[in-house]
Chain A
Amino acid sequence: MNKVIVVLFGVLTLTSVYMTTRNIGVLEPTVQRADLRDGSARGGRTYVGGSRRIK
């Protein structure tokens, strides 16, 4: 039965190699610049840190 675990780790290792070489999950998503300029991508974040600190 312990071979099942070994095989599982083998698959995980190969998967990590595949994901690294194929750059899966690391690419920045492309966003339309218009959306960015609207502020929709960061509307909630612009003051979160600051408002707490400036009291």
Chain B
Amino acid sequence: MSALRSLNCTQCGAPLTLLGGHRVESLTCGFCGSVMDAKDDFKVVATFKDLKRPYCPIKIGMRGIVKDVEFTVIGMVQYRDEEYATWVELAMFSPTHGYAWLEYDHGHFIFSRRTREQPEFGGALHHKSPFMAHGVTFRTHSMYGATVTFVEGELTYTAQVGDRVSLTEGIAPPLGFTIERTGSENEYQLSEYLEPADVLEAFGLEADIARNRATVHPIQPYQASWFISGLTLSGMIFGPVAILLLLFTLFFGSGTELLQQSFDPRGIYGKKGVVSHEFEVTDAGNLIGLELYSNLSNAWGAFDVVVRREGKEIFSMGKEISYYSGYEGGESWSEGSREASAYFKVPEPGKYTLQIFGEGGTGSSARRAPQARSLTVTLREGIKVSRYYLVMAVLCLLAWASGFFGRAAFESKRWDDDDDDDDYYDDD
């Protein structure tokens, strides 16, 4: 527990509470904007009037347990980079653990402590180049300059509005390492991303005041939404099941052949049609697959297929084959198919025949003469269609892949502003 001391602002007389320890070097009055030197009887060294206090849910004087240590917020600094993006850094003090920083950046909270350990890197840093610090490999995310735009409370250094600092940030989510250059002096900070709800709760605030994080912070760890994680989990569970079912039907669902017979075009396109050999269906519950094939070229054929048992019509269906091809505008083209298929069932086991009537033509409605090509009919019993398993397999693969897409989109946002940093590297 820090011992509270108080004094009056040496510029405006406002009552000020001292919360920091003996390393505090400056105190900025929140009423008049005067910066006082804590090491020289709080003599005013600068005054910045009419500064607007930036929004931050955590205020000076609040206490909270962060990383298992109780800290008191003693000061606040707002920075602005060259692209006018702003963020707030809160100075925190613990009598037992010293000083730390809590950055608030549009809903994100970053906990930082200064470190004496220098990073190790070979050559100049550039976009995504790695460097080592604290046994962790960081990748350079950004290098930029920032200006102080607001100061209030106690700080372990004398900060004034307009002060500039150069920053190099390396990331290894949820950790970050910042090289802060002021003049010829380098300071290093090791950072860690904290969940906003946890931070707000630690300071006794309602978690629901947390702002929506519209942007991705460079060291924000990826967390899949419940929807994406549900899709990924579902894809992992049911994808293999659907693929196994699909493979099973593909390998074992083709059934057994009941009939294969070719018919002469004169019979097919004649008035009485053709009648097939008799075939025997052993199980009425089985699906029967009918396949028609005719080697038509730039022609069509329409076939009425009638299933009969003991001369009695069970049912009939119509199938059409049309195939056209040619060479036009420097390109070969083709459309249609020389095959047609259908699935049907019979009401009971027994012996059946097919009667087939055909019509055909070569394309023009005025010319209805069929092309003289034979028709091959194949019947298979015990067919298992694979279409539903195929749909499920595709759905599951997409669901499973959604996790990768989600992470890729998140990483893309994480590195989104990198291109702009190239200018900085070049000038540097």
Q: Residues of A with Cβ closer than 8 Å to B?
A: 1-6, 8-10, 12-13, 15-17, 19-20, 23, 26-33, 36-37, 39, 41-42, 45-47, 49-51, 53-54
Which residue of chain A lies nearest to B302 when distances are taken between CB atoms in the complex?
Answer: A42
Known A-B contacts A26-B343, A46-B300; the reply to A2 vs B226 at CB < 8 A is yes
Chain B interface category by residue count: 35 or more
Contact B306 A33 (CB under 8 A): yes
Which residue of chain B lies nearest to A21 when distances are taken between CB atoms in the complex?
Answer: B384
Known A-B contacts A16-B389, A20-B249, A23-B385; the reply to A49 vs B335 at CB < 8 A is yes
Contact of A2 among B229, B302, B384 (CB under 8 A): B229
Interface residue SS majority, chain A: helix
**Cβ contacts under 8 Å, B306 to chain A:** 33
Contact B287 A16 (CB under 8 A): no
Which residue of chain B lies nearest to A19 when distances are taken between CB atoms in the complex?
Answer: B388
B365 CB, min distance to chain A CBs, angstroms = 4
- Tell whether B93 is near chain A: CB-to-CB under 8 Å: no
Which residue of chain B lies nearest to A18 when distances are taken between CB atoms in the complex?
Answer: B388
Known A-B contacts A9-B396, A12-B392, A36-B304; the reply to A2 vs B322 at CB < 8 A is no
Contact B298 A50 (CB under 8 A): yes
Cα of A13 to Cα of B316 in the assembled complex, Å? 33
Contact B318 A6 (CB under 8 A): no
A53 CB, min distance to chain B CBs, angstroms = 5
- Tell whether B391 is near chain A: CB-to-CB under 8 Å: yes
**Cβ contacts under 8 Å, A8 to chain B:** 234
**Cβ contacts under 8 Å, A1 to chain B:** 226-227, 230
**Cβ contacts under 8 Å, A30 to chain B:** 315-317, 344
B47 CB, min distance to chain A CBs, angstroms = 53
**Cβ contacts under 8 Å, A26 to chain B:** 287, 343, 385, 387
Contact B363 A54 (CB under 8 A): yes
Cα of A12 to Cα of B344 in the assembled complex, Å? 25
Interface residue SS majority, chain B: mixed
Contact of A5 among B231, B290, B304, B326 (CB under 8 A): B231
Cα of A47 to Cα of B322 in the assembled complex, Å? 10
**Cβ contacts under 8 Å, B343 to chain A:** 23, 26-28
**Cβ contacts under 8 Å, B235 to chain A:** 9
A17 CB, min distance to chain B CBs, angstroms = 7
Contact B233 A27 (CB under 8 A): no
Contact B387 A51 (CB under 8 A): no
A51 CB, min distance to chain B CBs, angstroms = 6
- Other A-B contacts than A1-B227, A31-B315, 6 sampled, CB-CB below 8 A, are A16-B391, A20-B384, A30-B316, A46-B361, A49-B335, A53-B324
Known A-B contacts A26-B387, A27-B345, A28-B344; the reply to A53 vs B395 at CB < 8 A is no
**Cβ contacts under 8 Å, A39 to chain B:** 359
Known A-B contacts A5-B233, A23-B385; the reply to A46 vs B365 at CB < 8 A is yes
B152 CB, min distance to chain A CBs, angstroms = 41
**Cβ contacts under 8 Å, B74 to chain A:** none
Known A-B contacts A9-B237, A53-B363; the reply to A45 vs B320 at CB < 8 A is yes
A22 CB, min distance to chain B CBs, angstroms = 10
Contact A10 B304 (CB under 8 A): no
| Most chain B beta-carbon contacts within 10 A, residue among A31, A33, A39, A51 | A33
B250 CB, min distance to chain A CBs, angstroms = 12
Cα of A1 to Cα of B224 in the assembled complex, Å? 12
Contact segment of B238-246, B254-262, B415-423: B238-246
Which residue of chain A lies nearest to B322 when distances are taken between CB atoms in the complex?
Answer: A49
- Tell whether B193 is near chain A: CB-to-CB under 8 Å: no
Cα of A6 to Cα of B287 in the assembled complex, Å? 31
Contact of B326 among A9, A32, A53 (CB under 8 A): A53
Contact of B363 among A5, A13, A41, A47 (CB under 8 A): A47
